[in-house]
Amino acid sequence: KYYLNGKDILAMKDDELSEIRNRTIGFIFQGFNLIQNLDAVGNVELPLIYRGIDRKTRRMISRKALCMVGLEKRMKHRPSQMSGGQQQRVAVARAIAARPPILADEPTGNLDSHSTDDIIQILKGLHKAGKTVIVITHDPDIAAKSRRVVRLEDGQIVEDYINEDYENENMTHKGEKV
């Protein structure tokens, strides 16, 4: 069993689970899950439409989220016009647009090392700004960059520790210390 905000998830009906996915958690997927015929702004706006946010407000929120991930010059580009790293940044912007906690499922799995570093720095920045960020990964190097590591094996927790180096780690961006 697991509980989210004090509620047993396994006891919920499909419509309750859909509501949680829409309003409570921002998902970042390994495969980006972008709509190919929408530009970056449209992809970020999509979950905000389902939340009933008016067009002007969701457009402003979407643009701000894209700027936060460094895509201010790519807002009108469709996924096919962007690199994998840029597409993942759109996925991150979509997840953070409505300001929920973030669940990232292998968010760097399809990326080169430079794009991976950029995405990890964005997620770390979100965490340092007070966001709850959960990253699911099979990559021990990615896990080692996290504040807390919970390792599962066959559905059981086999390790749970705080990374003492996390707070002391110098953040880097594009190969330079910041």
Q: What is the mean pLDDT of the chain?
A: 86
User: Would you state the pLDDT for residue 74?
Assistant: 96
| 103-115 pLDDT per residue, tens | 777 888 878 888 8
Strands (E), the chain: 3-4, 7-8, 26-29, 102-105, 133-136, 148-153, 156-162, 172-173, 176-177
Structure confidence at residue 174 (pLDDT): 39
Instruction: Tell whether the model's pLDDT for residue 27 goes beyond 70.
Output: yes
Cα–Cα nearest to 142, from 167, 107, 175: 107
The CA-based diameter of the chain, rounded to the nearest angstrom, is 48
Which pLDDT does position 170 carry in this prediction? 47
Q: Quick one: average pLDDT of 2-6?
A: 85
Average pLDDT, integer, range 66-90: 94
pLDDT per residue as tens digits for the range 36-45: 999 999 999 9
Q: What angle do CA 91, 170, 166 make, to 5 degrees?
A: 75
Q: Mean pLDDT, to the nearest integer, of 131-160? A: 90
Where does the chain have alpha helices with state H?
Answer: 14-23, 40-50, 55-68, 84-96, 113-128, 140-143
Q: Where residue 175 falls among pLDDT bands split at 50, 70, 90?
A: very low
Side-chain half-sphere exposure of 82, counting CA atoms within 13 A: 27
Most confident of 29-33, 79-83, 120-124: 79-83
Side chain identity at 101, as an amino acid letter?
P
Across the range 1-24, mean pLDDT stands at 86
Q: Is the pLDDT of residue 134 over 80?
A: yes
Using DSSP's 3-state secondary structure scheme, residue 148 falls into strand
Q: Confidence band (pLDDT; 50, 70, 90) for 161?
A: very high
